[in-house]
Structure 1
Amino acid sequence: MKGLMIMENNVLLATFKNQLSAFEALADIKAKYLGENYVITQAAVVKKENDSLSFKDGFEVNANGNIGFLNGGLLGGLIGIIGGPLGVIFGGTIGALLGESHGEKADKKVVGIFEDVSKYLVNDHYALILLTSESDTSELDNFLNKYEAETILRKDASIVRKDLELAEEYERKLKTDVEYKELKQKFENKSKEIKSNLDNFSEKVKANAEAFTEDLTKFVLDLKNKFKK
């Protein structure tokens, strides 16, 4: 087995202050996705603005070596989570929120990659995120340093995938909870409104029996219209 290269699958995050540097690095890596010691299968440039991540450009390489637009996969899911509703709380209160639902051990696991992104990618700066298999990290490091990368860090891709799965599970739970709370609040508000309408209607009936039929018809029509909204 002598000479066998051991490839490590990593998610690499390189941050840049300069927009041009980030896009030049992406264009260059797209042309050189296969190096002596690395293979890039997904790449994306993102920007952090107002504590939220936005996707700018990217690509993926399929099994046949053809390059196409980044469409899902590990990086797509990662960017979707950080750039979505949970983005504003990653690296902040997400630890406490996840701890309540999944326990301290799960909390520490999920914060990993998201906390790093929050910590090292500051507002108005750019990042190049790569999904790469490497036998030697120095080749990509030297490549990225040509573009004056501020920070270069790596996470085991399998751990990132687990982090992402846990975050997606939490996002689904949070969405369900939010929808439930909104539905419950809407129902309670509507119930109060109906009760108020009924009380008002009762007073009208007592005050003017002759208007009963007209008021009842109007009340029912109004009620139907409100529930249609």
Structure 2
Amino acid sequence: MRERLALLDEGNRLHTLYREVGYTPEGKDAIYRVFDLQDEYRRQLPEVIVARCPFTDAVVRWPLDNVDLDGWYWDWDQPIRRHVAGLPFSWLTMEGAVRLAEPVTAAPFHAMPGPAAPYVVPRLLEDPEVRAVLSESPIGRHTGWAITYFGNRRPEDIALENVWGSRTNEIHDPRGLERDSSEHVPKPSDHDFDLRPWLEAGRLLWIAPGDTDAALHEGTAECPYLDIEGDHREQLINRGEIIRY
């Protein structure tokens, strides 16, 4: 925790210095050091179990900053993330939601962790070959939920959702551009927070909170994710201020 905080503080300070002095000798030294710190941050990201594929039974482990939302992983414009190894061929995308515990730690970037309750995207789950898996992924003081979509094929003529907390889907970018294009700009109208019909239809499966075996469950019986209260609007965090729209 202390090492992570010191790394972020130093990187943010040097990045501010670079913006002030530009590509001067001092600025170059600062930005090259920032790159080194970002590499170290990537290496330190823990792998968190977020899903199990309903088709292949493969467990999905995601390099996720689960300490707090002030980490560079959550920078919506320029997230610092590690390549996700071992994804099953059936993986399509992973969205997410976060119930924020206020006050939120300030960071020098915009973070968009999703609405404050779990949801599904009907236009994806209406495809008969797509399934979603819901799990709880705590992020420090905040309660996070990962919603991962799988399919035997990529749905045709349907843009996939961007990966949780970012503005792209790097793995399934339709133009093959890893960081230069957006799959889909999310809108609240795209989301369905009534999970019951999707659970009953077998389109949405779930993993119990804290289950390190990531066992998949079907149906509504004992499902802990039903009727979770929370604001359904998108949440943007700007230097510790929460904006909902």
* Larger radius of gyration between Structure 1 and Structure 2: 1
Which has the higher relative contact order, 1 or 2, with Cα contacts under 8 A spaced 6 or more apart? Answer: 1
User: TM-score, normalization: structure 2?
Assistant: 0.24
Structure with greater helix share of residues? 1
